[in-house]
Amino acid sequence: MITDIPPRTSSLEKTVLDNLITAVLLFDSELRLSYINPAGEMLFQVSSRHVLGQRACALMPWSTPPVEERLRDVLATRHPLTERELILPLSGDRTIRVNCTVLPLHHFDAPADVLVELCRVDRQLRITREEHLISQHQATQALLRGLAHEIKNPLGGLRGAAQLLERELPDKSLRDYTQIIIDEADRLQKLMDRMLGPNRIPKEQRVNIHQILEHVRSLLQAEHPEGPRVIRDYDPSIPDFRADPDRLIQAVLNLARNAVAASGPSGRIELRTRVLRQFTIGNQCHRLVLRVEVVDNGEGVSPELQDRIFFPMVSGQPGGTGLGLPIAQELINQHGGLIECESRPGKTKFFVYLPLESCHE
């Protein structure tokens, strides 16, 4: 690796810098790059050979205010500067978040240099966000279960009493009223059963994710023959794993039904599978993780709902019960996995992560 570190630096220091996992960039007093460590090359996806000598503004054109303005301020004030969670655009439409520290390096015998250190934080932020999502989900699920049980018991009594009353009514025209009580009690009962989730013991068996997705696709096509179009992008190398197929079908179907509602008959849905290595779900590291993506080209999740869609009874659809996503999340959590969402108008992605192999296995 050719890195043109200034002659003042000892070989030990260079070795340390070269092996750091945070990106380190050194700019001279004219704000030209004089050193970039391998972590920096990885972060910017450049080779030091091509970027040494470049101006800071050429390397970080996205910076607002312009990066050179910041570096000059630091040199003039002699005060270091730290900015947290800066969004750094990468090639394609990818972005990453970094914490950035800018340090002035003053020397007796030469003009000052500026050291820029960039540390990726998106991984840590993602882990924290996921831990939060899981614990929040567990808390609401417990509350919901308790509530559903409390409602179910008197509901049975209410329905039974309405039936008895119906038999005793002298005037048959009054039966319309008792029938309303019975029908509404049945509707509420179904809602409570959905809230409580599946009441049978999970039936784990060897499953192939593509069979599950094909099943969901055929159900969708039967429900909506007029569209949207369903496109498949499967990674055939994904191994079989142990899971309850009915629960996985239910979870993916809930996501796919939302995608159909969002994209409409002329829309487009994509079912994609990928395998990820050394991936963390919540705070648990897994050697192999399956990622199923359900992507649609609808309007996107409305901004005021974005943080709450996994909560029960949160719905933006007329007639929606707001239970599809919390149920899907629960079913995937039971398999040690997690569902996440990324949405903007024209592209909404739901990611289902399922562990295939844990690090300690």
Ligand X SMILES: Nc1ncnc2c1ncn2[C@@H]1O[C@H](COP(=O)(O)OP(=O)(O)OP(=O)(O)O)[C@@H](O)[C@H]1O
Q: Which residues bind ligand X (CB under 6 A)?
A: 254, 258-259, 262, 296, 298, 300-301, 305, 309, 314-317, 320-325, 348
Measured from the CB atom, the residue of 165 and 305 that comes closer to ligand X is: 305
Q: Which does 230 bind (CB under 5 to 8 A by kind): ligand X, Mg ion, none?
A: none
d(C-alpha 330, C-alpha 71), whole Å = 48
Residue 152, C-beta contacts closer than 8 angstroms, at least 6 positions apart = 189, 192, 196
What is the residue-wise DSSP string for 263-296?
A: H-TT-EEEEEEEEEEEEEETTEEEEEEEEEEEEE
Helix, strand, coil abundance in the chain, percent, nearest 5: 40, 25, 30
d(C-alpha 195, C-alpha 282), whole Å = 24
Report, in Å, the least distance between residue 140 CB and ligand X: 12
Amino acid at 276: L
Report, in Å, the least distance between residue 325 CB and Mg ion: 6
Cβ-closest position to Mg ion? 324
Amino acid at 359: C
Measured from the CB atom, the residue of 72 and 347 that comes closer to ligand X is: 347
Residue 74, C-beta contacts closer than 8 angstroms, at least 6 positions apart = 80, 81, 102, 103, 104, 114
d(C-alpha 297, C-alpha 345), whole Å = 8
| Interaction site with Mg ion (CB under 5 A) | 258, 324
> What are 108's two structure tokens?
């007796």
Q: Which does 329 bind (CB under 5 to 8 A by kind): ligand X, Mg ion, none?
A: none
Measured from the CB atom, the residue of 25 and 251 that comes closer to Mg ion is: 251
Measured from the CB atom, the residue of 116 and 262 that comes closer to ligand X is: 262
Measured from the CB atom, the residue of 210 and 257 that comes closer to Mg ion is: 257
Report, in Å, the least distance between residue 105 CB and Mg ion: 56
Report, in Å, the least distance between residue 324 CB and Mg ion: 3
Strand residue runs (E) in 125-258: 205-207, 229-233, 241-243
Measured from the CB atom, the residue of 315 and 334 that comes closer to ligand X is: 315
Report, in Å, the least distance between residue 257 CB and Mg ion: 5
Report, in Å, the least distance between residue 250 CB and ligand X: 11
